[in-house]
Structure 1
Amino acid sequence: MSVFFRRSAGAAIAYAVATQGAWADLTANDVWSDWKAYMGGMGYSISGGESTSGNVTTVSDMTMAMAIPDAEASFELIMPEVTFTENGDGTVAIGMPEQFPVSVNIAAEGEDPVKVVLDYTLTNMVMVVSGTPTDMTYTYSVEKNAVSLASIEAEGETVPEGAVDVSFVLDALAGTSQMKIGDTMRDIAQSMTAGNVTYDIAFDDPESDDAGNFSGSVADVSYTGSGSIPNEINAADYSAFLNSGFKFDGAFSYKSGNGAMQGSGDGDQFAMSSKSTGGDFRFAMDSNHLLYDLSQSGAEISVTVSELPFPIDLKMAKSGFKLDMPIQAGDAPQPFAFGMNLTDFTMSDMIWGMFDPAGALPRDPATVALDTSGTAKVLVDFLDPAVAETLEKTGAAPGELNTLKINELLVSLVGAKLAGTGDFEFDNSNLEAFDGMPAPSGVANLEISGANALIDKLIAMGFVSDQDAMGARMMMGLLAVPGDAPDTLKSTIEINKQGHIVANGQRIK
């Protein structure tokens, strides 16, 4: 995980604020002091002029800044005034300016410096902190939370107004965040909802006809997450950070979404629109594993390009991707999982007509699904930037596959269907039996339906010759036996530890 990601996440959490906790005495200085300790531990420098009048502590020109070495950049946020008001009931209200600038300076070696200034807007924000100095609970609501591009300076000049526009808006934002501060770690639990999230990115090159726009929105957004981070992070010691007890698990979901993209250049035009009925995204990480789990439902996509006289229309009832992988080197095998699915995928008749104008092939919704799990020995620390650079240069293997279980394999399209499961072990000391790959041993069970009917249709369409079809049928006859229903085949493929391959009891290697 890059330094930029860790520290940027820290900046976001600084504004995340939390549920009403136990009523206890909490002072303005307690909250402000924890801000300084928290952000300082994340690698930021934080400063401002402090003054107290009655029950209000005011921080003038509060500045948060940090260098981002791995991105050759720096970050600075300036709030003209932040107030911490003791409410008299053991809680503290936080007031922030409605708008303040955020600057990002990029000075890559050998390149002209670039300065990007963003306007950050908080409309009708209410934020209250309760609890104790070691267990603070924030509660917040914001009518509108927006980020927009104010200016870009590159090559010593300001990019003309309208050349690049960026805006990102969350409305009806509300949430909670609890922070428990220990001697070495900080435990964080958060929840958040937003009515809508909208985005709009556009560019128009004044020196050419290149232009583009990308916009969209998602509705009824929710987020829950929890984690633990060290109070002091040493960006230069990747291993210490990962083994400090750091962990994070967060999930986003939304009920509906839509997007649109248009572009033009060199006389060509491009447009795309999409919508969905909802989706989920989960990200989790600790010292041993990294997890991505994404899903989307009711997706519809339409693409228009200059080269085609009709739009490319696609639909799918469900799609998903999952990756759970070990990230630290170890002597023992570690578990992993990978999965993906495209469920009930369809495309418009105009696309079908390009290669099947007579409608010979069944146009039923297609499904492709794969679900696997297994174990692998990890030889390197995957997320260490130095290790990644070494692997890229040397081409060395990052790990060894030990076991692989195919929980589900499904391919169903154009009237044919392949389904299967499997369970294999791999001998990494034997790279000769299977041409350089670790020798597998195990069993796969497969079922095929509609294969012969599909081959007949492909012959009639001229896509497959009689000779090629004969070879395919001979191969199926060698590897499979007839199933229980017409035009079905089934097969049990076994690979033993001697390297023999047996299909349905018959040795073929």
Structure 2
Amino acid sequence: MKRFYGASALALCAFGAPAYADVTPQQVWDDLEAYMQGFGYSVTATEAMDGSNLNLTDVVMSMQVAEEDIIAAFSMDSMTLTDQGDGTVAIDFPSVMPVTIKGTDGGDDVDVTINLGQEAMKLVVSGDPDNLTYDYSADKMTIALGKMMADGEEITRDMLRVDVEAGPISGQSTVLRAAGLQSISQTMDYGDITYDIAFNDPDSEDSGLLNGLLNGVTASGETVMPMDIDYSDPAAMFAAGFGVDVTMGHTGGRMDFSVTERSGATSGKTSSGGGSLTFAMSSDNMAYKLSGSDVSVDVTSPEIPMPISAQLAETGFSLNVPLKAADAPQDANIEVVLGGFEMAEMLWNIFDPAANLPRDPATIRVALDAEVTPFADLFDPEAMEKIEMEDGVPGELNSVSLRELVIDAVGAKIMGSGAFTFDNTDMESFDGLPRPEGKLDVSISGANGLLDQLIAMGLLADEDAMGARMMMGMFSVPGSEPDTATSEIVINAEGHILANGQRLK
């Protein structure tokens, strides 16, 4: 379904800077038709030439949803491709273009209509048939739920409402075909996106509302597809050259929501100062990165004794893993960031009414780099099934580097870094795990002060705090400043574990 909506939007809003070469309306239509067929669509239309212009009627682009008895179809009553006399072609679309989704899903009938709308859309195509450039703009584009049937009864708009609006919109795209591959490069500016979703169950007291705004939404990326692509065979698809690299972002947003049930109403709001998402995948590796700034959350609920309010100055998650079988170690990494976490004074006062604990913003940051050797392509189902049947593993871990570790909260701070290699021929020294060799350095500050405060608050017993202090004493040595400690954990080539030079294993 994501392919359907994404490809439909791109086909209708294909975009790019003029290449100043002659192209005809028929060539443009042939390109769009081939483009959609490349995504697995069946395309039908009635074509009629009007001088040098091409008129299309009864345009339908349909596709069966994989593994489901459902047909998704995008249709237009008419579509005109106009020769502008300067080697470029302008495309006119109807103001409303319906998407229908019909069939059965698990024995249940599916009948949904979604209306795509546009205002003042301008689309100009230039270039040559193997290298077309699209340049487009629109005052506004909309998505609205038109009709939904369930169990033979229509779900009316007062029962379910879905409206999305974006604009002003502009963008550019190029479609290049060569050597059996289709390369699509694109940049998009969606302007501001607003959404309004509401439901009201007439047979109960349940209802809900969700609406919000994203400012300055942009997207850019490149997709490479084989001309004869088979989405049902991922291994062959990637081997033939499929790849995608997309980045999306926004400059800030907000969301308001409320849900009413028998127990009462839950409501809240969120906001952010901006964020971005990057996703890239090829036959070699997959990379994913998500980040946000100045995130705030406020929630009230009858099941919560008081309102919840919290803020995060920075959020982030990134992951990079290899996907292809290799004879040598490949790079991988993961990073998690939760920076500048703060919560409302009212929440603090629940467990710390005397304000014994520092209420400075808390931060957690972890970054790991690794080298791994995949034994099989992760998108090859036969190879993965063979590994599973033989109780094998899909790869081995060769090394890990703790690039950064920061835990900073309630007056205490832990920092660390280190690196280990792994001997996968020695699975006995560490009970079935490859034997590590390397060093980990850790520094701690404010730990004893935090234990004292927890005891004073009655949250920690003296004997429990004593056990924690003894554990720190076993693995660390006092630092140069008050209430600080450092620790050096070493695992040597013999499999011995040493803490600050003292052997533990």
> Which category describes the TM-score, using the shorter chain as reference length?
over 0.9
Looking at structure 1, the residues matched to 435 and 207 of structure 2 have their Cα atoms a distance apart, in angstroms, of 53
Matched, 1:54 2:51: yes
Change (3 A) 1:463 1:71: farther
1:428 to 424, 429, 442: 424
8 Å contact 1:262–1:269 — kept in the other structure? yes
Q: Is the 8 A contact 2:384 2:394 kept in 1?
A: no
Residues 62 and 79 in structure 1, CA contact (< 8 A), matched pair in contact too: yes
TM-score (norm 1): 0.94
Deviation at 1:402, TM superposition (A): 2.0
**Aligned equivalent of 2:91:** 94
1: CA distance, partners of 2:418 / 2:75: 57
Q: Which residue of 2 aligns with 1:78?
A: 75
1:217-259 residue CA offsets vs partner (Å, 9 max, x unmatched) = 1111122212211112112322111111122211111111001
- 8 Å Cα contact 1:252/1:281 also seen in 2: yes
- The answer on 1:64 being equivalent to 2:53 is no
Contact map agreement 2:185 2:223 (CA 8 A) in 1 = yes
Q: Please give the per-residue CA displacement for 1:421-457, whole angstroms capped at 9, x wherever unaligned.
A: 1111223343433344333221111110000100111
Measure how far apart 1:398 and its partner are.
4.1
Distance 2:341 2:387 in 1: 37
Tell me how many residue pairs correspond in the alignment.
Answer: 505
Q: Identify if the C-alpha distance between structure 1 residues 496 and 5 changes in structure 2 by more than 3 Å, giving closer, same or farther.
A: farther
Confirm or deny that 1:218 pairs with 2:208.
no
CA distance in 2, matches of 1:269, 1:436: 52
Aligned partner (choices 200, 206, 209) of residue 204 of structure 1: 200
The CA deviation at 1:492 is 1.1
Q: Distance in 2 between matches of 1:506 and 1:418?
A: 22
* CA–CA distance in structure 2, aligned partners of residues 15 and 187 of structure 1: 17
Any gaps of 5 or more consecutive residues in structure 1? none
Q: Aligned equivalents of 1:257 and 1:395: distance in 2?
A: 48
- Judge which range, 16-25 or 293-302, deviates more: 16-25
Matched, 1:334 2:316: no
Measured after TM superposition, the shift of residue 99 of structure 1 is: 0.1
2:317 to 311, 315, 321: 321
The answer to whether the 8 Å contact 1:42/1:231 transfers is no
Deviation, structure 1 residue 332: 3.3
Q: 1:488 aligns with which of 480, 484, 490?
A: 484
Deviation of residue 152 (structure 1)? 1.0
After TM superposition, list the pairs within 5 Å mapping 1:292-331 onto structure 2: 292-331=288-327
Amino acid at match of 1:364: D
AA matched with 1:149: L
| The 10-residue stretch of structure 1 (16-25 or 282-291) with the greater mean CA deviation from structure 2 | 16-25
Matches of 2:150 and 2:310, distance apart in 1 = 40
Cα 1:441–1:223, aligned 2, differ >3 Å: closer, same or farther?
same
Contact preservation (8 Å) 1:42, 1:232: no
Equivalent in 456, 462, 465 of residue 458 of structure 2: 462
Change beyond 3 A, Cα 1:246–1:443: same
- 222-231 or 117-126: bigger deviation: 222-231
Gaps of 5+ in 2: none
| Matched letter for residue 273 of structure 1 | K
**Aligned amino acid, residue 47 of structure 2:** E
TM-score, length-normalised on structure 2?
0.95
Name 1:414's counterpart in structure 2. 410
Residue 263 in 1 paired to residue 284 in 2?
no
Conserved 8 A contact 2:243-2:283: yes
Shift of 1:93: 0.3
Equivalent residue runs for 1:17-416 within 5 Å: 17-109=14-106, 111-383=107-379, 397-416=393-412
Secondary structure at the counterpart of residue 69 of structure 1: coil
> Structure 2: which amino acid aligns with 1:359?
A
**For the Cα contact (< 8 Å) 1:317–1:343, is it kept in 2?**
yes
Residue 500 of structure 1 aligns with an amino acid whose one-letter code is H
Aligned-residue offset at 1:383: 4.7
In structure 2, give the amino acid aligned to 1:40: Q
Q: CA deviation at 1:68?
A: 1.5
Is contact 2:17-2:173 (8 Å) kept?
no
Deviation at 1:157, TM superposition (A): 2.1
Instruction: Tell me the distance in 2 between the aligned counterparts of 1:393 and 1:103.
Output: 42
Map of 2:448 onto structure 1:
452
Q: Does the Cα contact within 8 Å between 1:219 and 1:256 map onto a contact in 2? A: yes
Using the aligned pairs only, state the percent identity. Answer: 39
Is contact 2:170-2:189 (8 Å) kept?
yes
The answer to whether the 8 Å contact 1:225/1:248 transfers is yes
Q: Cα gap change, 1:389/1:465 in structure 2, threshold over 3 Å: closer, same or farther?
A: farther
SS at match of 1:113: strand
